[in-house]
Amino acid sequence: MMRNQQREEFAIILDFLPNGYPFDIRPLHQKTPIAQALGKNYFTLLELIPKKGEFLEIHEEVYMGEGKRDKIHHIAGRILFSKLTQTAKSELELVIRELVKKDEKRFVEFFNKAGPINTRIHQMELLPGIGKKHTMEIIESREEKEFENFQDIKNRVKLIPDPESAVIKRIFLELENKDKHRLFV
């Protein structure tokens, strides 16, 4: 089954290694600077090769789409969560939290539109801390009126875990490949 491959246009730098990976045993003059980054739209973990002489800052947003790139020479490829450096892993939560906050409308839309996966499980139940009872309450509440933001969800659904945190935790689960279902990554 071929999935429609979505391309990232922008990425946020998680770690920049001006002298390449420390475990790379090649001589220094042969090593390539490398950046580990997170795609802004689809949360794709990527390895990027900067242009010669470019120094990338952690949390810097870089363009890597089609057309002229100012700082990125090319995309080396996707990278597994387990291959991220400690720095990249520690910056990841902050970057994801920031992206979810900036694009709150997109994630609230998920609460307004999510549907069943099959007869036994609903997409909503894939969010950590949200079970069948919360799912039913969310569905009933959104039928009356769609949710406007995370605070609206918290106000209208009794005892729901923080919806923003649930989305962030879900993104982490998907990045770590701990579930076959994909909601955001």
Average pLDDT in the chain: 93
Q: List the domains of the chain with CATH numbers.
A: 10-81 (2.40.50.140), 103-175 (1.10.150.280)
Q: Tokens at residue 151, please?
A: 């605070």
Of the pLDDT bands very low, low, confident and very high (cuts 50, 70, 90), residue 114 is: very high
pTM for this predicted structure: 0.90
Q: How far apart are CA 37 and CA 33, in angstroms?
A: 13
Quick: pLDDT tens for 43-65: 999 999 999 999 999 999 999 98
Neighbouring C-beta atoms of residue 41, cutoff 10 Å: 15
Quick: pLDDT tens for 134-182: 999 999 999 999 999 999 999 999 999 999 999 999 999 999 999 889 9
Of 94, 43, 40, 79, whose CA–CA distance to 62 is shortest?
A: 40
Contacts of 81 (CB under 8 A, 6+ apart): 45, 89, 175, 176, 177
Q: How far apart are CA 94 and CA 85, in angstroms?
A: 15
pLDDT of residue 31: 87
The tokens 């800052």 sit on which residue?
Answer: 57
